[in-house]
Each structure stands twice: as structure tokens, then as C-alpha cells.
Structure 1
């Protein structure tokens, strides 16, 4: 089995640690050693082969954080099939789109809300004389339609092991991972076996850990947490899997002596608020990796007081295996001690990533000038599934065009200013929503905020912010506007402020601006004004 593939690396990794604990699922307290994990993966892979899964089959899965997610996702890879992971919080519309767009042959599921959608897909394919098999996982208290194959892990143990699984080559497609799609419909990002293998090597450089580490993952394993899971298992760490609740998170860190975790800023804020009310020992943590957005300076100070100097930020993209830049622990501490602006950056390029910032003519911009972030790495996507047109737009001469607007400072820190498509044009001026949010978030009453453009006959687009305040704290719209006027350009000052108890989040914890925009733009043909 080639070690130049993710299949080869993970097969070899799971044979290195044998009796060492590999995975614990907190809800059931079930633990599998590396030997047990490998044996169960091979057994499930044999079952999938018996159903007809083979090299090149497209296998989608809708499984919440669980032991089953670990086992079945790895079994799909073991078979040489192409994985299509889907978040269990995806809407039925998105799931229907992904199933059809990805030409899914097999579905593995453990969610109730998507049953009708998956069944419709099966029946639609049957009318086209195409067969789709659906496996409904037992143990999730769900009643699956009779068209599904309902089976438990215990029943799978009776399946006879196949003698061997197909060997993959570096060029074979390992995964089609659909973009989060905060604008428009998702795109299928194709990653090769070789690309995923290169990403695993890169993660060894960027995420130091070994067989003494205990890694807690509570965000969806379909996303960045899943990449960290593979890194942890490849290095012999003990992975603890749960769904997020602030008190249970802190309790697990204390009782299991967790050393590494991954999260997002909104979750960090909830942990801080809970820790203020209840005392926990979190001294075992040595690395908290976070991503999706910069962290508030004030809240980071609180977080470091609670956890110590253990924070590492990452900036990534589905198309680049989520490994683009890192801001390390030392830089977090240095920024807090000196008041340096680079705390609002996403760090510096990863060791295996090359980054440029270019203008509309394709020329590199100067320090502090804004432009589009483009990058190269050995683990870039192969392209968008069935969309050569979008692929040729996104990848030119080996460079991936991220669609993010960024700038470098004199030290080489990268700042993401906004998405190209998320820019607000108000009164003829370009307003970068992230910069407005940075100003609003400086207000001591603010927990978090989101800035969008709202169609307006006078301004074109009205700079509008949604604000969540600290419990028991009051702030008026007039006060917020005056606060911003004192700190930023007049054209960037919000024209309208809405106060909310909470903001809608995407399944990976980002503020869902598409949801915020929906009511304002629903009657518009275009999303610009």
C-alpha cells in the first residue's frame, strides 16, 4: 500500500500503537485501542465491500460526532471509495443538492431530519434505473424507512473479512468536500489521495503532538476537527469526541487532563463565560487551536487568564485542506503585551504554503495594500467536481485564487479584510465589513457583531450591523453610532444597528451572514445594489 496516499498513511499509522487507547466517545464512555479501532474499521470496510462499495464509489455520510463517525469515515477510505462528508446541520435543500451534484452511490446516515431527502434521492435514481444503497446506523434511536439497510456495529461483526482492499494511487480522488456556501450553492472540492497525504505531513509540522497527548474534539468532525483527528491518530494520541456544551467541555478537560483541543472564537467566549461561574482545573491544556475568525482582543485576554498562553490561530479554506496560515502562541502573547495590531491577523504562511496578494491586474501589491489572496501548496484541491469552468477561474498557473481580500504588514502577518463578494458599496465607497466589525467589537458592551450591506435607494447599500451585548448591559443605537464615528471613516460608520440576543451560526460556527441578509434581499434579483 503506497505511503504516498492518505489511505496508506492511515493504515500504517493505526498499526503503530496497538494497545494504546485511540478514541473515546464521551456520551457512551466507549474506548477503542488502536488495535480494536483498526479491526473494527476493517470489519466495516468488509461489510461495505459486500454491499458493492469499491474503488471510485461515491459514498456520502451524514453522521453526528460519534464513534460511528470515526469508524465509518475511515472504513470508506479503507475501501478506496471517494468520501463525501456532510454536516448533520445542513438544510435539506443543501443535502439534496450535494447528493445529486456528487453522483452519490451509497449513503451512510444517522440523522432524522434528512431521511425524507435521502429517500427521495433513492427513488429519483430508481426511476433513472440507477441503484443507490442507504445504510441507516442503529444505536441512534431512529426508525429508518424500509428501503434503508438498518444495521448495528454488532451485526457487522458477523461479516467475513475480505482478503485485501484496493491500493490507491496519489492521483485517485480521496474526498469531495462541499464548501460551506455562505453565498450561493455549495461546490464539490476534489482532494486527491496524494494531496491529503501531503496535508497530513503538513499537519505534523503545524500541529505538534505525540502519543502522550489527549485531544478533545467537540466541533463537527466533517470539518477542521476531522483533520485534527487524523493528525492525532497518525501520531498515536488519544482522541476524545463529544458534542459541545461549555460545562461538559470544562469538566472533560479537568477529568481527562486534556492537552489539545480545536474550537472557534464563539465557543471560546461561551467557555470563558461558563468558567467565570464555575471553577475548573484546565492547567493540562497546552494547545487550543482555533479558526474561522479572529478573536476579540479583550476576550483573548480573558481566555489567556483562564487557560494560559496556549492559543494558536489558523486560517484555511476547504480548497487548501484548511492549512494556509498560523499565528502561534508566542505571537498571541507578544501582541497582548505590546498592543500590536497583528492580533487581528491570521498569522504567517504555513511552512508548505506560498502566499501572494495581487491587484486586479495580477501584480503583487505593496505592504499594507489590499488585494486578493492567492496561494500555492502541495495539498491544493484538484478542482471543483463537474465544474471545469469554476476550476479554471479558481486555479491559474498553479495558484489558487481564494476570493479573500487581504494585506501583509511589514512583519509578514496576513490580514483578511473581507471576501471579494462580501464587500459593501455604500455611497460609491468600498466598505469592508470585517473592518466595521473590528470597530464595533471594541465597544465594552459588545460580545460579537456582524456587518452586512442592506439595499437602500439613497446609499446603494446601507452599512448595517447586528450586535449581541453582554448580559445585563445596555447600549443604544445612537451610542453605538457615535462610538464608531470617533474611531473610523465616516463612510464606514453603521447607518443602522440591530441588537440581538444571539446571531445565527453556520454549522462550523461562523456567523451566518446569508441568514442575516435573507429578509433584506429576498425580493432582489442580485445581491448587490
Structure 2
């Protein structure tokens, strides 16, 4: 089976069923498959051949899934591009992947004219795109496309150096789709709400997994909590995915507004950070649905563990031991924790996480040395640090690059974050390492306080007392920096490197000096 077969199979099984909804535009499965076939034929007619790379620079829209299916049908490799990139970054992706075509919204084409104008094929979403589809034979040429051919190149965020292209095959993405549908207990009657970007790893996997069984996908251009609540009620949404900040904002509206009918919603999946037990309880009460947490990375297809709805109910009931975990391995995955010498770490001891899964990517585009370092015969070396407890729950302690070495001791940010997050005045927390003349590095805690907190200095003092009570001396934050919001990547992950850079700019200055984002700093 190939990615493009999803649309074909569902058009045969559910021809008149709604497949995609975007505001007042609705496409049935028959329409999605026909449009994908026409797109494949158009691109082949423009001289593109199997294996050619096609950049997709587009905000969320009804065309995204059909573009994914159409490129797959033509044997072309999709290269999703973050619409927030700078022109130089787009040029890097273009040159690195050797793109021969781009499918782009008109306003993004205006922004990146110099970077895209000389590509052999430039197709603008809108009237030009529609004309191209309907001037093309709906039966594209039959091509010899193999399940192990690369289907998508996903460029990582590139927080250090240039972004790398992660290669996923048809086979790996379909394994991830099967794994996702198993753990989410999905069925073809699900109505999925897509608000996070399609151009991320999660967005591309979502296209495959959320439509794999013939589900219906409702698409929002961006996340708006009021629009999400309205859509759940209007379209009987059964499943969506959030990051914790999105959950916070949605619950705030439900808590302070009139009663709404959320009864259709059966589950919310979230990632990027654990949800505190109090927030989980509030979400289950106000939304009346189950929660699940996932852990993964671009290189493994986005998901390797699942903290199930039952786990969340157990946490709310008082099972605190798994409250900081991201669950247990999914059916398709095996997770190991290894020491620096490659041997298995004992239960409870921190090491690097290794993922063995048929959903793993096959390497980095044109980077054989980094591919050999990361994608090894014994599994994917994630660069993440963590440990497995006696019950098989995975606890993430940070990235190898986030590890703080203070006075020769390893300090794992997640340990400190777990303690600080217990405080009732803390909404979110991120711990970073900053240079220290005496200890090499020292931890600093960036905190978003709850809305009711009006004295950051008093909160900093309370947090210092809490850390002294529950953490070894070398793990205690040197200071607390208060933020209104954290910088987030396109997938919703907190960008700790940006936090560290801004904290380093302030240094040990006076407690009232503002960090560039407008946050304020306090010290105990």
C-alpha cells in the first residue's frame, strides 16, 4: 500500500462521505481522490518524475491532504515548509532538497518570490491551482512506486546550525498511521479537528493517520479557542490534538462562559509537555472527554509512547508516580535506555532513549555521516535522556543538549520542572542552563505564573523554599525569571534555546530588569 492509496480506497468504500471540511468548502472522498489524481497528472505533465522533490508552502487549507495524496500518487517527494521561515531559510531548504517545484499560497509566493521564481514548476493555490486540476486528465500515468520509496522529507527546526531533512517512506508513514489508530482507538465515524500546522511532522502524520480509516477532517487555519469550542458543538467533533497552552486557553473560556455541548468529544491528544493533574481533572470535567499524551520526534514519525486515558484517570485519582511520565511504548515501538557505552541502563537510571520501530525514518537527506550516527542497526538514537520505571513508563529528563552540568554533576531540567510545577501559583515552567564562573553551568527557572499571582518576588521566594526542600543543592535554580508566554516552535514545543539566550543576556542583573520578551525577573 502507498500513501496515495488512502484516498483511492476511501473513495471506493465511502464515495459520498464528507472527507474534508474547511469553513464552507466540503469535499467528499470521491472528490478528494479525483482532485489528487488530477494533481498527480498535472505535475507529471509538467515534466516532473518520480523522486523529484516538491516544496509545499501553505497555511492550513482544504488542499493540504489532496496535495499529500496527489504527490504520493505521482511518486513525488513532498517537502513541507514552515511558512514562518525567513527567505534565507527557505532558500536553504530549496537548495538542500534540490526542489524542482513548489505548491504555494499567493501571499507566501509574494514573500518568497526571489527564492521560488526560478523553480521549473510554481503552482499557486487558488484559481491557478483549480485551473490546473480541471485541465488535466483524472487518470495520471501508472508509475512504479515502491512502499520503501521516500514519500516526505521533513526539515527539523534547525535550532543548531542548518535544518536537516528527515526522510520518511510510504511504509514508515503507514506504520505510524496504523500505530496511531490503534492507540487512539479510532474508527471511520470519527470527526477530527485539525488546528495545528500541516507542515510539521505531526501535521503530515495527521494527514495519513486521521484519514486512514475514512474519517472526516475539519480544518481550521489556525488555533482559536472560541472557534474550537464552536466547531466541537457545530460539527460533533470527536477527536483533536492540543498542546497544553491550547488546553489552558480552551478551558478558560468554558470555565467562564455559558454552558456548551461538548458531548461529542471523546478524546484529546496532546504532546510537548505533561499536563498537571489539576488541569487534567478540569479538562475531563469541563470537556467530558478522555485525555492521552504522546511522546515522539520527527525521526520516529511523531509518536513512540502513549499515556492512556486510563493512566490520566489514575493520575487524577492519586497515582502520582506516573504523573511526570509520557506513558508506555506503543504497539509498533520498542524503547531502550542506554548508557554512553551502548549497554542497557538499569531500571530507573537515566540514559539516552533508543526507539526501535518500523515507523522510524530512514535517515537524513544527503547527510550519510549524521544518518549513520542517529539511525543505527539497534534503533534510532533520539538524543533524548530519560528512564524507564519498573512498570515500563517512560520519564523524559531532557535532551542531551539541554543537560546541565553543574560542578561536575548532571542536572536534568525535568527534575526541577516537576518540583516547581507543583506550586499552585505556577502555570508553566521551563528550566535552562546558563554559564557560571564557579560551577560551569547553573540552572535558571523560567516561570509563567497563574493569572491570580500579582507578586512575582513573593512567588520566587516560595519557589526557592520548595526547591530547597525537594532538590539537592546543585539542582536548585540560581534565580527565577517570570514570563508572560514562552517561545514555541511550529509543533508547540517550548524553545528552550531561545529562553536560555534571553536569560543569558540579562545575566545576574537587578531583579526588576526586563527580559527582551517583556517578562520580568525575580530572585529569592
TM-score, with length taken from structure 2: 0.90
1:244 maps onto 2:223 in alignment: yes
Cα distance per residue 1:109-128 (max 9 Å; x no partner): 126456454523555xxxxx
1:335 maps onto 2:318 in alignment: no
Distance 2:160 2:495 in 1: 10
Q: Secondary structure at the match of 2:429?
A: strand
User: Residue 232 of structure 1 corresponds to which residue in structure 2?
Assistant: 210
Q: Report 1:17-416 matches (<5 A).
A: 17-26=14-23, 29-110=24-105, 112=107, 115-117=110-112, 119-120=114-115, 122-123=117-118, 131-138=119-126, 151-154=128-131, 156-223=133-200, 224-242=202-220, 243-278=222-257, 279-416=259-396
Instruction: Kindly tell me the number of residue pairs found equivalent between the two proteins.
Output: 500
Cα distance per residue 1:423-480 (max 9 Å; x no partner): 1112222111122122221111111111111122223223112111122313323332
Q: CA deviation at 1:172?
A: 1.2
Q: Secondary structure at the match of 1:421?
A: coil
Distance 2:505 2:75 in 1: 43
Structure-2 change in CA distance of 1:164 and 1:287 (3 Å): same
Q: CA deviation at 1:362?
A: 1.1
Distance 1:519 1:499 in 2: 12
Q: Secondary structure at the match of 1:234?
A: coil
Structure-2 change in CA distance of 1:425 and 1:163 (3 Å): closer
Q: CA deviation at 1:94?
A: 3.0
| Aligned residues of 1:312 and 1:326 also touching (Cα < 8 A) | yes
How well do the aligned residues superpose, as a CA RMSD in angstroms? 2.1
Structure-2 change in CA distance of 1:214 and 1:161 (3 Å): closer
Q: Secondary structure at the match of 1:472?
A: coil
Cα distance per residue 1:397-438 (max 9 Å; x no partner): 241111111111111101111101111112222111122122
User: Residue 521 of structure 2 corresponds to which residue in structure 1?
Assistant: none
Structure-2 change in CA distance of 1:482 and 1:91 (3 Å): farther
Which one of 8, 12, 16 corresponds to residue 11 of structure 1? 8
1:499 maps onto 2:479 in alignment: no
Distance 1:498 1:520 in 2: 8
Structure-2 change in CA distance of 1:185 and 1:24 (3 Å): same
Cα distance per residue 1:207-265 (max 9 Å; x no partner): 32222211111111223143233223221211101021011101111111111111111
| Aligned residues of 2:106 and 2:125 also touching (Cα < 8 A) | no
Q: Secondary structure at the match of 1:46?
A: helix
Q: Secondary structure at the match of 2:4?
A: helix
Distance 1:110 1:522 in 2: 38
Structure-2 change in CA distance of 1:472 and 1:198 (3 Å): closer
Q: Structure 1, unaligned stretches of length 5 or more?
A: 124-130, 140-150, 524-529
Distance 1:519 1:168 in 2: 48
Please say which of residues 176-185 and 494-503 is displaced more in the overlay. 176-185
Distance 2:57 2:225 in 1: 24
Structure-2 change in CA distance of 1:205 and 1:372 (3 Å): same
Please say which of residues 196-205 and 241-250 is displaced more in the overlay. 196-205
Q: Secondary structure at the match of 1:338?
A: coil
Which one of 476, 492, 497 corresponds to residue 514 of structure 1? 497
Distance 2:363 2:288 in 1: 41
Cα distance per residue 1:48-102 (max 9 Å; x no partner): 2222222111001111111122222322122110111122233434322222211
Cα distance per residue 1:321-358 (max 9 Å; x no partner): 11311111111101211232212111111111111111
| Aligned residues of 2:192 and 2:238 also touching (Cα < 8 A) | yes
Structure-2 change in CA distance of 1:206 and 1:111 (3 Å): farther
Please say which of residues 169-178 and 180-189 is displaced more in the overlay. 180-189
User: Residue 126 of structure 1 corresponds to which residue in structure 2?
Assistant: none
TM-score, with length taken from structure 1: 0.90
Distance 1:341 1:308 in 2: 24
Distance 2:227 2:115 in 1: 38
Q: Structure 2, unaligned stretches of length 5 or more?
A: 507-524
Cα distance per residue 1:254-278 (max 9 Å; x no partner): 1111111111112111111121122
Distance 1:428 1:310 in 2: 43
User: Residue 142 of structure 1 corresponds to which residue in structure 2?
Assistant: none
Please say which of residues 447-456 and 161-170 is displaced more in the overlay. 161-170
Distance 1:161 1:492 in 2: 63
Cα distance per residue 1:16-38 (max 9 Å; x no partner): 21001111013xx2111111111
Cα distance per residue 1:120-156 (max 9 Å; x no partner): 3555xxxxxxx533222237xxxxxxxxxxx142553
Structure-2 change in CA distance of 1:318 and 1:16 (3 Å): same
